[in-house]
Amino acid sequence: MKTPCTAALFCLALCYVARAQTWEISLSRLYPRISPTPLGSMSEEGKKDDDTKLKGLYGYGARLTWNTPGYYGHELGFNYNQARLTSKVRTTVEGATVTSVLEDRVVVRQAYYNFLMYFMPKGERWRPFMTGGIQATEYGAPGFEQWPTGKSRNYGFNYGGGIKLRILPQALLRLDVRDYIGGKPYDLESEDMMKFGGRLRMFEASAGLVITFKK
């Protein structure tokens, strides 16, 4: 008798948990700010660490979020960012050093997993949260004829927070801030030939619309 009762209670618990789970799909506009980290030089002479730099412009992001019955959630996301890459190139013309500046837009793609912790229970009109996770970032190559490397892929972690505001029964407004920390891209040469590696940070603010549904 105990076994059927236990099985029935277990099934009821599973049904309650499944019903309590909610999923969210969100689309956001991103405002990235990349730290002014010197990326090295593509110049053949007079190399300087700060010859090459990246500047974030704008982007778009999509997220799929699974919220558990309690105060937690799991999230997969993808970001598509536009950035401006500039690089100084020095050449010698008739004994004089001539410096030219090359500039092009590159695409920065990110895929990530994040864990969310909410400060308000599910169903509240507003839910602030904090988050942390890991990401993979791909930096596209510029269209410079003499660019010495191709694309660059780096890995790292991120943390941040945000708030979700309910505007309709199945729709939320979402505001986020994130700090992405990862490896320095492109592996260009530096002034000191023994110096390599480093980190690059990207701060991101975003605003987006969320659609919620139950499993």
Q: What is the mean pLDDT of each run of 10 residues along the chain (215 residues)?
A: 45 40 92 94 87 96 94 97 94 79 96 97 93 98 90 97 95 98 92 75 98 83
Instruction: Name 96's Cβ contacts closer than 8 Å, sequence gap at least 6.
Output: none
Q: Which two tokens stand for residue 189?
A: 């040469």
- Give the model's pLDDT for residue 21: 60
- Give the model's pLDDT for residue 53: 94
- Give the model's pLDDT for residue 196: 64
Q: Are 45 and 91 in contact (CB under 8 A)?
A: yes
**What are the backbone angles phi and psi of residue 94, rounded to the nearest 5°?**
50, 45
Q: What is the pTM of this model?
A: 0.85
Instruction: Name 150's Cβ contacts closer than 8 Å, sequence gap at least 6.
Output: 141
Q: How far apart are CA 65 and CA 67, in angstroms?
A: 6
Q: Which amino acid is at 13?
A: A
Instruction: Name 87's Cβ contacts closer than 8 Å, sequence gap at least 6.
Output: 41, 42, 43, 51, 52, 53, 101, 102, 103, 142, 144
- Give the model's pLDDT for residue 28: 98
- Give the model's pLDDT for residue 45: 81
